[in-house]
Amino acid sequence: MFSRILDLTGDLTRRSVFLFGARQTGKSTLLRTAYPDARFVDLLEADTFRALSFRPESLRESLRPTDALVLIDEIQKLPRLLDEVQLLVDRDKARRFVLTGSSARKLRRSGANLLGGRARVRELLPLAWPEYGAEHLDRVLRVGSLPGVLLSPDAYDDLRDYVGVYLAEEIRAEALARSIEAFSRFLSVAAHANGTQVNYTKVGNDAQVPPRTVREFFRVLVDTLVGYELPPYQAIHSRKPVATSKFYFFDLGVAHALQGVREVPLGSEAFGRALEHLVANELRAYLAYRRRDEPLTFFRTTSQLEVDFVVGDRVAIEVKGSGRTSDRDTRGLRALAEDVKLARKLVVCTESNRRRLDSGVEVVPVREFLDELWSDALVR
């Protein structure tokens, strides 16, 4: 079992928590492990769901005065239960709830009571570097870092099953049953566009879906936490930046399953894309878990100068998956540095040794980069 780094203890001393996360990121396991004595209400249990669906007030009636912490799993399955949760929180200021879910979309669309600021919102992501470690890096680049998949002997089949279950259940949950074939085509096209700027018209043409529907489908992926958008960096003046976001799937393995990718040979184009995706996910996880305010963006101009990631206004990162890095590979970093006073400019790569180019760009092996990131030495 992997030891998770997300710690809700500090949040729970002050208020309740919504813990969101895509399916199989390990929300239930985390809570059962961290809080074995808490009262656990699992809405995936049919009898529990039926009882609370019929009489939400039975939650209030069933709790004991000693139930100081109550964990409710998959709260999006029964949004009206949140009225009871608010009542219980207001009546007992010491009682805390952790409410897990794999989608905020259904809660918002149902007009559910989101507790009016009485609960913090946290997200559990797939395993990050401090959790899976250097010994699993090569495998993560192939099968991703969902806890149940990473060590599975049938990882690829598990990922295909994951994608199939997600497709069936989310289509049903979002009342898109008539669109299941279109959504399936869209998923495949979106996966092949992973890590690129979203072109709704092109994706729509390839998937045979109208652009307005493509926008809605991307919104479903974001709201169900299966993907996220990376906005463009805009704080430059001498060059015109692009205005369209990139899109990434939340896990490398899920993207690979949708793409039909089983291997990512070192030095290949597929390896370069996977390495960039891994760095994106690690930066996202670091900023979320450390609760840093710096935005994560990418830099690209209309003249095609590009930097893969910009953290706040201080650190710019280019990812290179093959070959030896030279100044020719740092044009985007140097262009951005002409407009922004960067503290650091880095190329994350597969080279064996760390070094510095004449331009001041640091060339950093990926393992060293991840160690530095999670030791809080990269973004001070």
The full DSSP string for 129-195 is: HHHH-GGGHHHHHHH---HHHHT-TTHHHHHHHHHHHHHHHHHHHTT-GGGHHHHHHHHHHHHHTTT
pLDDT of 154 reads 95
Q: Are 363 and 356 in contact (CB under 8 A)?
A: yes
Distance, in Å, from the CA atom of 144 to the CA atom of 137, rounded to the nearest integer, reads 9
Cβ count within 10 A of residue 129: 24
Locus of tokens 């809570």:
31
- Give the pLDDT band of residue 380 (cuts 50, 70, 90): low
Contacts of 152 by beta carbon, 8 Å cutoff, 6+ apart? 143, 158
Contacts of 298 by beta carbon, 8 Å cutoff, 6+ apart? 230, 231, 232, 233, 246, 306, 307, 308, 309, 310
- Calculate mean pLDDT across residues 83-99: 91
Q: 136 or 1: whose pLDDT is higher?
A: 136
- Give the pLDDT band of residue 202 (cuts 50, 70, 90): very high
- Calculate mean pLDDT across residues 121-141: 96
pLDDT of 240 reads 76
pLDDT digits (tens, 9 = 90+) for 213-245: 899 889 888 988 899 999 999 887 767 777 899
- Calculate mean pLDDT across residues 298-308: 90
Entry pTM: 0.93
Q: Where along the chain do its domains lie?
A: 9-123, 129-374
pLDDT digits (tens, 9 = 90+) for 17-74: 999 999 899 999 999 999 999 999 999 999 999 999 999 999 999 999 899 999 999 9
pLDDT digits (tens, 9 = 90+) for 335-353: 999 989 999 999 999 999 9
How far does the chain reach from its first CA to its final CA, in angstroms?
Answer: 31
Locus of tokens 């598990």:
158
pLDDT above 70 as % of the chain? 93
pLDDT of 113 reads 57
Distance, in Å, from the CA atom of 250 to the CA atom of 260, rounded to the nearest integer, reads 17
> Does the CA dihedral 225-306-239-316 come out positive or negative?
positive
Beta bridge partners of 363: 347, 355
Spatial CA neighbour of 74 closest among 98, 42, 26: 42
pLDDT of 269 reads 92
168: pLDDT strictly greater than 70: no
181: pLDDT strictly greater than 90: no
- Give the pLDDT band of residue 171 (cuts 50, 70, 90): low
Q: Is 249 helix (H, G, I), strand (E, B) or coil?
A: strand
Burial state string for 32-50 with b = 16 or more CB within 10 A and e = fewer than 16: eebbeebbbbebeeeebbe
Tell me the three-class secondary structure of 179-235, residue by residue. HHHHHHHHHHHHHHCCCEECCHHHHHHHHCCCHHHHHHHHHHHHHCCCEEEECECCC
Q: Is 90 helix (H, G, I), strand (E, B) or coil?
A: helix
Write the DSSP assignment of 38-79 as a string of letters. Answer: SEEEETTSHHHHHHHHH-THHHHHH--TT--EEEEE-GGG-T
Locus of tokens 């169900």:
224
Length in residues, the chain? 380
Q: What's the token pair of residue 361? A: 């760009």
110: pLDDT strictly greater than 70: no
174: pLDDT strictly greater than 70: no
CATH superfamily of 9-123: P-loop containing nucleotide triphosphate hydrolases (3.40.50.300)
pLDDT of 106 reads 65
Cβ count within 10 A of residue 293: 6
Torsion of CA 69, 288, 102, 92, to 10 degrees: 20
252: pLDDT strictly greater than 60: yes
Q: What's the token pair of residue 16? A: 């309740």
pLDDT of 76 reads 87
pLDDT of 12 reads 94
Distance, in Å, from the CA atom of 71 to the CA atom of 30, rounded to the nearest integer, reads 11
Is 297 exposed, middle or buried, given 0-12, 13-18 or 19+ CB atoms closer than 10 A?
buried
